[in-house]
Amino acid sequence: MPDSRAARKPTNVSLDSRLVAAARELDINLSQACEQGLAARVAEVRAERWRIENRRSIEEWNQWVGRNGLPLGRYRQF
């Protein structure tokens, strides 16, 4: 979620005029909505890049667990 105390940077964006009109009719704050959408997209892309960058380690870990079982698995209560 965006930090409401963070410094703001004026930015021009091009949006579908029908979508802008609908948002205004619904009293949606365009800046806030754009910021929330952008924050969500940034989080998605960062997560996907992390998965790509760490894919090999994750696969190796999964193989290790497949061969050896979960560390401390004998202590599991479920």
- The residues spanned by each domain of the chain are 17-68
Please count the CA atoms within 13 angstroms of the CA of 74 that sit on its side-chain side: 1
Rg (CA), the chain: 22
Q: Are 50 and 60 in contact (CB under 8 A)?
A: no
Task: Compute the distance between CA of residue 71 and CA of residue 75 in angstroms, rounded to an integer.
Answer: 9
Q: Which one, of 34, 2, 29, lies nearest residue 15 by Cα? A: 34
Average per-residue pLDDT for the chain: 93
Mean pLDDT of 7-16: 93
pTM of the model: 0.71
Sort 14 into a burial class: Cβ within 10 Å, 0-12 / 13-18 / 19+.
Answer: exposed
pLDDT above 80 for 3: no
